[in-house]
Amino acid sequence: MKLKYLLPIVCFTLFFSCSTDDNDDTMLINEVENLQLIKTIENGDQSIELYNEKGMFETGYNMISLRIKDNNTNTYVEDATISWMPVMQMPTMQHSCPKSEITKAIGKDTVYQGFIIYQMTFEDGSGWSLTLDYTINDVDYSVTETINVMQYENQNTASFMGSDDSRYIVALIAPKAPSIAINNMKVGLFKMENMMTFPAVEDYTIALDPRMPGMGNHSSPNNTDLTYNSADHFYYGNLSLTMTGYWKLNLKLLDASGTVLKGEDVTENNESSSLYLDLEF
């Protein structure tokens, strides 16, 4: 039988086998497979489970999956709207950090997703709390709980003041597993509008100059500056890594008109930019 005749039958079969009973399916399929539980937050009739790949929050970019369990029926909620607010309590003030909205994970019935970029933490992992506001069947709920955020071993995020007197946060998102190759580099850039609001910055350029300080500060060929992608609000460029070891990713932030807001060129006399991220592999 030709494929075009077969395809409708396959689709038909798939459709009916998947839609028999939603709740049965979610019991059978583990929707958080390959994820580690970070924490369960109890809030009366609901338990909110937070997951990521490592099972812990770290400074920098955290992709987070969450689901809400109805403690009375022991099932996971499929139609919640959820928002969150991470807050760090400092000695003299409190502030938040860049974060996304929370949306249903693609192809999942019970799992919701978003990211949080913790720009700092206290040495013992303390300082942060997370507030979750959610609505189920038109009823609003809210819960706030203390969370631990550990310091990541490399500088995967930087918070700095630009020459325009605005505060910015830059965070490395990819490569997650760098290799000797031209790596796809993905970075988030956010402006600190106030203590609680950090919108994504559009249409800037992040100039990239990776160096190996331990090896005569040599560079690598075929790097490209990072440019803004309006589809997902992140910045992308090519990061060329020619050997394993410690790399300092020297950066220069330029606004939409090409004015340098932060960072310097690496030269014979200037070993590193004041704006950088680093990695080791």
Which residues are near Cu ion by CB under 5 A?
88, 90, 120
Residue 10 Cβ vs Cu ion, minimum distance, rounded to whole Å: 53
Q: Which is nearer to Cu ion, 90 or 181 (CB)?
A: 90
Residue 119 Cβ vs Cu ion, minimum distance, rounded to whole Å: 7
Residue 38 Cβ vs Cu ion, minimum distance, rounded to whole Å: 20
Question: What is the C-alpha end-to-end distance of the chain, expressed in Å?
Answer: 51
From residue 219, give the alpha-carbon distance in Å to each of 42, 61, 210.
50, 26, 6
Residue 251 Cβ vs Cu ion, minimum distance, rounded to whole Å: 22
Residue 120 Cβ vs Cu ion, minimum distance, rounded to whole Å: 5
| DSSP-assigned letter for residue 214 | G
Q: Which is nearer to Cu ion, 95 or 104 (CB)?
A: 95
Residue nearest to Cu ion (CB): 88
Q: Which is nearer to Cu ion, 75 or 129 (CB)?
A: 129
Count H helices, E strands: the chain?
2, 21
Are 207 and 251 contacting, i.e. CB atoms less than 8 angstroms apart?
A: yes
Q: Which is nearer to Cu ion, 81 or 131 (CB)?
A: 131
CA–CA separation, 255 and 257 (whole Å): 5
Are 253 and 260 contacting, i.e. CB atoms less than 8 angstroms apart?
A: yes
Give every CB contact of residue 9 below 8 A, 6+ residues apart in sequence. Answer: none
Q: Which is nearer to Cu ion, 126 or 217 (CB)?
A: 126
